[in-house]
């Protein structure tokens, strides 16, 4: 029997991005939507009529183009690339890759020989085309009523000033610059300013600790750090400059010294309150006042690095993923256009922070390459009320809204009036990314938020893939809750069994990608060996994603969860997410996470962490009821051996994903081997879990 044939990892994690800050547990269910849900492969198709302006309105039309894209990748992508400005055209000979370790070093190359600049293509191209007066950023502050608009021309001027300043402090092509900033216009401006002069940005999410910052600054040796005096999210003020100072001190102790720190004064923390090192620190406003608002573009090679970004760290120490310019640009622009049916002038909102890959590809580069008006929201989705997201949609008449399951689930927990009080008639397309979306949350997003009018694009991809890989194209084929449907152009997914044999037709396996795509990572910064061993050694010749996947008769792909998350109980393969989904269907359970541990008889046993719903207290009866729910929904073999009530909540990454490897170590009493926890949103969760263990 194929080891994965019973793998039914129905991910139904239940959480909220701000859980650790506001309410560790105790999330209330919407009463009408409570109850157990069907796994996604048993869900009926949903046909939402939508006529895409891109012209791809049927699966047949898609398949014609898809075939071209895999039969002649060089020709297909060259055609797409011609839609952008190049200083020098690429050499068609140089679109080549080797993914097979047996044939030597793994290397990926697209458009080599060509010279371009992504900042030019995001800004100058539109300004030169006469669209400089159009809004580029629609910025919404933490407090309702706080807002600002920047046109494409104003953005270009600001970018040029910063590029000039970077040059004035000696930053050259290839140098790394760390950005640790709140979600204000200056953050994407700083990314674009680096790109303009060929410097490599490394955005560090401004929720990370001083240690995490130090690690990243050191790893890629950033001589320059750009930050702000502080930031504000909901009711919380974050002393960013203080954290940077602490982080740079740690880095210095470890032998790396950053030379310059540029600081934007944010009203949340006035300059008098900032620690300051006169020899190193510079205020943004004063520095820009001396810089010209014109700066020539550095035409860089297509394979010159554009940025590096550390992964979320859900499964291990974050990896410094390196992306280059040409292929990434072409794919960011093209996927954004087709997946969101994005046209110039559309008001588009992606709720991700620039600190994640989604904030790079689908908040900054992708939408700007398409000339859209981009909403940037600095605050949290539930401040001052759970209706804020929908008020922003109404205020800006947002057409495309791209967000994450964790946010959808946290807003779903509140009364529907928070949504329906705002006018959402501008919405055309909804999107989700980051984790599998459970069908109940999908339904709510579809019916309550989108009133059944808006296709939901469930996009599966990774920091490493650079752009969406599996995704619906709106209106082109029927959707299914929790299903990412079909591969994007040029993407060749395969399902491998544990022996590395390709599964044909309908079936399940480990998702791998065959053949390189333009937006793929090129290496892990400073560690090409780790790049090869992480992604190309599990199955020779394929890119290994680490995710499990199912393909059905229609050819649709459904992500079933991470491969590491499968537990083997007495020969039964149990998907953690399936058990979690069953636990979460019980009224007493707000959130659950399940891990395996070594069991003398069964091989592996099941250990379940449960966050109780508001108003429920821990008791042996509740434990019994939870175990009974799993027995009845999945079977006796999946009944948890231990239930651990977690009053302080679950360990999650800053991007809202549950960190199961930490839960595994706590369950097996190996807390001395927790590994890298620098990406935890709230490290305080760990001691609370240790205290409550065995109770
Ligand atoms: P690390 O690689 O450091 O462990 P990470 O995998 O969480 O962290 P990301 O690159 O942010 O880092 O996340 C990519 C992963 O997120 C995918 O491999 C997949 O497990 C999950 N994911 C993303 N989008 C979807 C989706 N639409 N459906 C299901 N899973 C998704
Ligand atoms: Mg990953």
Tokens of 177: 């610059």
Nearest to 642 by CA among 610, 689, 607: 607
Tell the residue nearest (CA) to atom 26 of ligand 1: 460
Residue 582 to residue 589: CA distance in whole angstroms: 10
Looking at residue 656, its pLDDT comes to 81
Q: Which ligand is nearest to the CA of 433?
A: 1
| Residue located via tokens 């898809």 | 66
User: Among 219, 312, 557, which is best to mutate for testing ligand 1, by the most ligand atoms less than 8 A from CB?
Assistant: 312
ipTM: 0.99
The atom number, within ligand 1, closest to the CA of 437 reads: 28
Looking at residue 377, its pLDDT comes to 98
Low-confidence ranges of the chain (pLDDT < 50): 1-36
Looking at residue 585, its pLDDT comes to 80
Tell the residue nearest (CA) to atom 15 of ligand 1: 462
Rounded alpha-carbon distances, angstroms, from residue 532 to 107, 108, 535: 9, 12, 6
Tell me which residues have their CB closer than 6 angstroms to ligand 1. 311-316, 318, 357, 433-436, 458-463, 484, 545-547, 559, 562, 657
Looking at residue 7, its pLDDT comes to 25
Cα of 11 vs centre of ligand 1, distance in Å, is 12
The atom number, within ligand 1, closest to the CA of 561 reads: 20
Cα of 462 vs centre of ligand 1, distance in Å, is 5
Looking at residue 566, its pLDDT comes to 78
Looking at residue 17, its pLDDT comes to 26
Looking at residue 666, its pLDDT comes to 95
Residue 106 to residue 338: CA distance in whole angstroms: 30
The atom number, within ligand 1, closest to the CA of 319 reads: 3
Residue 359 to residue 336: CA distance in whole angstroms: 12
Rounded alpha-carbon distances, angstroms, from residue 401 to 156, 396, 663, 679: 25, 11, 33, 26
Cα of 50 vs centre of ligand 1, distance in Å, is 28
Looking at residue 45, its pLDDT comes to 93
Dump pLDDT digits (tens) for 626-648.
999 998 888 888 899 999 999 88
Rounded alpha-carbon distances, angstroms, from residue 437 to 45, 85, 252, 443, 480: 15, 37, 42, 10, 11
Residue 523 to residue 54: CA distance in whole angstroms: 33
H helix or E strand, kind and range, residue 223 = none
Q: Which ligand is nearest to the CA of 320?
A: 1
User: Among 208, 308, 520, 547, which is best to mutate for testing ligand 1, by the most ligand atoms less than 8 A from CB?
Assistant: 547
**Bridge partner list, 262:** 226, 282
Looking at residue 11, its pLDDT comes to 24
Cα of 498 vs centre of ligand 1, distance in Å, is 21
Looking at residue 2, its pLDDT comes to 27
Do residues 327 and 110 touch, judged by C-beta distance below 8 A? yes
Tell the residue nearest (CA) to atom 18 of ligand 1: 462
Looking at residue 102, its pLDDT comes to 96
Cα of 434 vs centre of ligand 1, distance in Å, is 5
Q: Which of 147, 345, 564, 682 is catalytic?
A: 564
User: Among 559, 560, 575, which is best to mutate for testing ligand 1, by the most ligand atoms less than 8 A from CB?
Assistant: 559
Nearest to 52 by CA among 40, 42, 44, 61: 61
85 belongs to the catalytic site: no
**HSE-up (13 A, CA, CB side) for residue 103:** 9
Looking at residue 24, its pLDDT comes to 30
């Amino acid at each position: 029997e194929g080891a994965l044939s019973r793998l039914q990892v129905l991910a139904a994690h239940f959480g909220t991005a701000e859980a650790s800050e506001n309410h560790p547990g105790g999330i209330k269910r919407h009463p009408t939507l409570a109850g157990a849900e069907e796994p996604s492969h048993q869900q009926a198709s949903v046909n939402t009529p939508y006529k895409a302006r891109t012209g791809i309105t049927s699966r047949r039309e898609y398949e014609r183009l898809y075939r071209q894209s895999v039969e002649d990748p060089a020709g297909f992508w060259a055609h797409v690339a011609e839609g952008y400005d190049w200083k020098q055209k690429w050499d068609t000979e140089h679109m080549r890759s080797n993914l097979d370790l047996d044939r030597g070093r793994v290397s990926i190359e697209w458009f080599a020989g060509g010279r371009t600049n992504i900042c030019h293509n995001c800004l100058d191209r539109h300004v030169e085309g006469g669209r400089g007066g159009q809004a580029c950023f629609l910025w919404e502050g933490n407090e309702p009523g706080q807002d600002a608009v920047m046109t494409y021309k104003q953005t270009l001027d600001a970018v040029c000033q910063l590029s000039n300043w970077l040059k004035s402090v000696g930053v050259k092509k290839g140098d790394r610059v760390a950005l640790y900033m709140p979600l204000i216009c200056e953050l994407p401006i700083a990314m674009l300013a680096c790109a303009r002069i060929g410097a490599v940005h490394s955005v560090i999410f401004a929720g990370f600790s001083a240690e995490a910052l130090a690690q990243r600054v050191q790893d890629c040796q950033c001589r320059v750090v750009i930050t702000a005096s502080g930031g504000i999210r909901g009711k919380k003020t974050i002393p960013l400059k203080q954290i940077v100072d602490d982080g740079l001190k740690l880095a210095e102790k470890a032998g790396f010294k950053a030379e310059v720190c540029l600081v934007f004064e944010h009203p949340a923390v006035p300059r008098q309150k900032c620690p300051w090192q006169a020899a190193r620190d510079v205020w943004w406003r004063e520095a820009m006042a001396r810089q010209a608002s014109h700066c020539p573009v550095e035409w860089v090679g297509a394979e010159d690095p554009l940025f590096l970004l550390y992964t979320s760290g859900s499964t291990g120490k974050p990896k410094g993923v390196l992306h280059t310019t040409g292929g990434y640009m072409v794919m960011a622009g093209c996927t954004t256009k087709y997946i969101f049916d994005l046209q110039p002038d559309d008001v588009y909102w992606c709720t991700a922070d620039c600190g994640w890959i989604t904030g790079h590809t689908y908040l900054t580069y992708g939408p700007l390459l398409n000339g859209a008006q981009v909403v940037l929201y600095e605050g949290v989705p539930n401040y001052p009320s759970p209706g804020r997201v929908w008020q922003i949609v109404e205020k800006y008449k947002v057409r495309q809204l791209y967000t994450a399951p964790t946010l959808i689930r946290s807003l779903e927990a509140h009364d529907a009036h928070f949504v329906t009080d705002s006018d959402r008639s501008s919405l055309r397309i909804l999107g989700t990314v980051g984790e599998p979306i459970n069908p109940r949350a999908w339904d709510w997003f579809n019916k309550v938020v989108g009133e059944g009018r808006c296709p939901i694009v469930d996009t599966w991809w990774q920091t490493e893939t650079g752009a969406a890989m599996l995704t619906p194209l709106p209106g082109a084929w029927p959707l299914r809750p929790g299903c990412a449907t079909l591969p994007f152009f040029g993407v060749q997914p395969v399902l491998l069994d544990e022996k590395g044999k390709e599964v044909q037709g309908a079936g399940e396996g480990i998702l791998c990608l065959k053949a390189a795509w333009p937006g793929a990572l090129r290496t892990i910064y400073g560690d090409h060996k780790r790049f090869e061993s992480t992604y190309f050694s599990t199955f020779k010749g394929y890119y290994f994603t680490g995710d499990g996947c199912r393909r059905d008769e229609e050819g649709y792909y459904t992500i079933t969860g991470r491969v590491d998350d499968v537990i083997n109980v007495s020969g039964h393969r149990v998907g953690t997410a399936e058990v979690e989904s069953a636990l979460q269907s019980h009224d007493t359970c707000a959130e659950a996470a399940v891990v395996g541990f070594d069991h003398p008889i069964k091989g592996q046993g099941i250990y379940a962490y449960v966050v109780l719903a508001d108003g429920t207290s821990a008791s042996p009866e509740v434990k019994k009821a939870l175990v009974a729910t799993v027995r009845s929904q999945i079977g006796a073999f999946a009944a948890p051996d231990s239930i651990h009530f977690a009053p302080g909540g679950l360990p999650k990454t800053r991007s809202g994903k549950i960190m199961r490897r930490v839960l595994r170590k706590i369950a097996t009493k190996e807390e001395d081997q927790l590994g890298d926890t620098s990406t935890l949103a709230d490290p305080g969760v760990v001691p609370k879990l240790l205290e409550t263990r065995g109770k």
